[in-house]
Chains A and B, each alone.
Chain A
Amino acid sequence: MKISIQHLTKIFPSRTKGGSAVHAVEDMNIEIPSGQLVGLLGPSGCGKSTTLFMLSGLESPSSGKIFFDDQDVTTLAAEKRGIGLVFQNYALYPHMTVEQNIRFPLDNMRIKKEEGNARALDAARLVQIEDLMARKPHELSGGQQQRVAIARALVKMPNVLLLDEPLSNLDARLRLQTREEIKRIQRTTGITTVFVTHDQEEAMSICDTMVVMKLGVVQQIGAPQEIYDDPNNLFVANFLGTPPINIFKGKVQGGKVYIGEEAVASAECDDREVFIGIRPEGFIYDPNGAFTLNLDHVEVMGRDKSVVSTHESSTKPTVRCIIESDVALPADAEQLKFNIKPYKLFLFDAETEERLR
């Protein structure tokens, strides 16, 4: 099912007298094609969960519209939207067994017992918990509870599956495994899925489309690689990527990009103060390179090396460059010279922090 969000805005009135209202989501416009896995990504407080709850119908928007296919569902009650929602804490009913939990939506739909049992079992098989049907939630591990929650959301064959921070309560290993699982389930069922996360790695790894948000405003929408390679502004560039992008203060003068005194690349924009973002993998070691960094130490990762250094123009305490492990570095050098891959270097206006292309 296609989802279309038009001018969606949510304003929470202030709790105290005279306080200012909170704009949780502002003028959001997204088109989500049918059958896609979409990630809402942003730091906490950016309105991503609010957006999800507005999609689910648990929160009503202050203005704007939501369409499922061509149907306007903006004012439609949650239970009539045909959505499955997985909560961050799973919200499994503690007094019901796994089977009763999964069956609960079906019982509410007054589906016959045999059919309900069959569908509950199907959903359980899909998330591989069919052996745990007789257990109570507190007898399950976090990962298993998560699966039950997904099964409960899937059992009614929803048009849209919504996941609120589905992986945040799992440990690191399980998180990797579960995110692949979610991808697999989404592929198998073909259900349009929207999930919320603050973890960019998680979003990058499984999303078809990613929506990056900040303070209620959508910053960029696109495929993960697209956004990574072509960020709209400093925030997006900074938010995506591990290790994060290196940011320098610098200027453009006469068609050249200067960091400190060194011209590291050419530019086609007017002279001005800029922020220069360089991805860690954008450095090429070259003894005659254009850009000099003060070497701090080198971390060996096996597949590649991580060169940690400092630079006076850097906005962060350290600059991190990732180079291939077979590149030999001088053992006791205090300074290293690099060339910059032009497509890994982004220029942002120093005032607006918008990308200069």
Chain B
Amino acid sequence: MTDVTKLGVLETAKLIREKKVSCEEVVRAYIKNIEEKIVLNAVVEVFDDAIDEAKKVDERVKNGEKLRALEGVPMLIKDNILITGKHAGCASRFMQNFVAPYDATVIAKLRNEGVIFLGRTNMDEFAMGSSTEKSCYGICRNALDTSRVPGGSSGGSASAVGANLACASLGSDTGGSIRQPASYNGVYGVKPTYGRVSRYGLIAFASSLDQIGPITKNIEDNAYLLKVISGKDEHDMTSASASVDDYNEIKSQKSYKFGICDEVEKQLTNLVTKPVYDKIIEKLKKNGCEFVHFSIKDFDLCLPIYYVLSTAEATSNLGRFDGVKYTVRSERADNVPEIYTKSRSEGFGEEVKRRIMLGSYVLSSGYYDAYYNKAKKLQRRLTNQLTDAFKECDAVLLPTTANVAFKIGSKGDNPIDMYLEDLFTTLANITGVPSFSIPCGKGEGDMPLGLQIMCNKFEERKMYEIAKYIEKLLKGENV
């Protein structure tokens, strides 16, 4: 019998259905991996009811009951997504006592399909970071090299899938927090179209940019899971009513037309990883794919725009953490204003405090127009420019990151060094389009690199088809 922990979501469900392996065996195998790879610190809690849930699945199999599509598939969930009765901590000591009173919509949907929730994964505090070094649970490590970061903020979710600690996981992506760690750990991560997936039960960072998405071991699993978690939700008024395609019948065309952004290409010329991307483009051209160039004049402003918009929204969203309703209350507080100020000052980590402060600043009287309003206008212009580009091409290709995963502790005192990690990823969040990061080659230290396939809004189906097409080409298979 092959190692079941190497298998993905759909393969595992099939094996359980065909009685080739018991669900309990699968869950125990993953728990063993989690224990053996404890050094990664990717999983912050293994749920004590996971094995009981697995036994129930095995009962259903034994009794010949009708099994659901993902019956018995163990998944890990980022620490900012609510599962009824489980702790959700956002990797913050401020939230150390919080127990979720309800299921996030994505959790309810996965539960309906029979998924087993194996545990919670490590992350940067309140999803603010690109390395999972800023967590109250301690730093998380890369699945492929423990001296390197797993990326972030969904570092635990990506490292766990890369190290076979679950069939798949869920992460959240506000500026690259699924795609960058997926790239760093050699796995598949998608930031869906804004509105595709309900955010109900996701502890909000920046509500107009946040999306939940799956991190998986292959393209098919990713497409399948996205289909399961997508759809209109009465609990999230920004969830889209757009129909959810059946992404899992992935049939590619003979060739595609790709867009290359001149400003991205200019950034690429400075990168040591450029040859990896050149090779992919070369292969696609040889296979009859066309390339068109377009310009996004404001591309170099993506990061500043992102930091204005995301911190402005964070300052508002994080206002609810006040030491009254669910976070830890300071023992030094004697009156109500002190409860707010002292609890928040003791509870939030330094990065979170700074982002709340920048958000307060850009929204404050006298600065609102110069920062927030300006960023909103630039967001509109960027979106129009990218939408125009999609009139001429099927997808835009760009690297996920500038380089491979960096060494733990190597980013200096200046927070901007870390922010530059999201150079190629924030565009999709600012404009709301879907973007899928797939492994596409290796860089320094034989570490993986990711390629982003970005399509127009609600074109996830095409995005997965193209991902499959590119992956086949890279593997030397016929397309």
Partners in one complex: no
